[in-house]
Amino acid sequence: MMRPGFAAFVSAALLLAGGMAKAGCGPAAEACSLPGGSYQLALPEGAGPFPAVVFLHGYGGTGSGTMSNTGMVQTLLARGYAVIAPDGQAMTHGDGDDNGGGNGRSWDFLPDRPATRDEVAFIKSVADDAAARFDLDRQRMLLAGFSIGGSMVSYLACKDPQAFAAYAPVAGSFWQPEPTACAGPVRLLQTHGWSDLTVPLEGRAIAEDFVQGDVFQAMQTWRETSGCGTRPDDFSAPGEFRVRSWTDCQPGARIDFALHFGGHSIPKGWATLALDWFEALP
């Protein structure tokens, strides 16, 4: 349930630019349905089993809206990845009514608030369902998301770090009260805009009891949970990104923090950055 004043997320979180990429249930035009919800899917050319990126939309978005980000989707498909875009839950005004007949959706991402759907179980069931239906490699799935979708990715990674091969939240992280520890080490690429005013790096209050967390504090939690040192082991500058990397962590774990100079968006080049990072993991 979203709080009053949270509508500021709507315009920034919708990425409905460009023409529609192939979207639906594989070759079918309609979304894939399963208990608890639905998802859109696009497949690359060739024969499987394919790796996949599961991408969670932001506040007010939809799975089909994710698929309309043709720059991102086509980059992922061209690299041989299936793209899976789950649908969040229909938003309400808090009185049980839907959002005025619109199609916008969101996620029950905060672990300490009443939820109408077990989002962790649903997202995992989407990945399992898509793998079984479309010959996808369930062990080579990257869970990513934008804004509140990025927050949902962060909380799922914290609760169930083995659910996906790796995690890549964009412009979204923990909210207050922020977790001080997670269930286990992770492989995670956090991407954020230096000029983001919708989800500032330092966080901000949406309402009195609805406060975005500090992304730098979240990075400390990820480092400590994954057994990484305080200081980064490597620095790189691919394209428009400035990346700090922690590789001396518990076996298999890795934490990377990529900043770009833009605002609240999925920056150009993110899909290439994320796949290069994902494919370089042990």
pLDDT band at 111 (very low <50, low <70, confident <90, very high): confident
- The whole-number pLDDT of residue 7 equals 38
pLDDT at residue 18 tops 70: no
Domain membership of residue 236 (yes or no) is: yes
Q: Which of 55, 85, 65, 87 is nearest to 278 (CA)?
A: 55
pLDDT at residue 100 tops 70: no
Residue pLDDT, tens place only, 142-168? 999 999 999 999 999 999 999 999 999
Domain membership of residue 102 (yes or no) is: yes
Which run of H or of E encompasses 53? Answer: strand 50-56
Residues 6 or more apart whose Cβ sits within 8 Å of residue 196: 171, 262, 263, 264
Domain membership of residue 274 (yes or no) is: yes
pLDDT band at 189 (very low <50, low <70, confident <90, very high): very high
Domain membership of residue 230 (yes or no) is: yes
Q: What is the domain range of residue 256?
A: 8-280
Domain membership of residue 3 (yes or no) is: no
**Tokens coding 251:** 């076996």
How much of the chain, in percent, has pLDDT values that exceed 70? 88
| Number of compact structural domains in the chain | 1
Residue pLDDT, tens place only, 76-95? 999 999 999 999 999 864 43
How much of the chain, in percent, has pLDDT values that exceed 90? 82
Residue pLDDT, tens place only, 168-181? 999 999 999 999 99
State the CATH number of the domain containing residue 18: 3.40.50.1820
Domain membership of residue 120 (yes or no) is: yes
Domain membership of residue 239 (yes or no) is: yes
Number of CB atoms found within 10 A of residue 39's CB: 23
Map residue 43 onto helix, strand or coil: coil
Number of CB atoms found within 10 A of residue 267's CB: 21
Q: Which of 4, 67, 13 is nearest to 38 (CA)?
A: 67
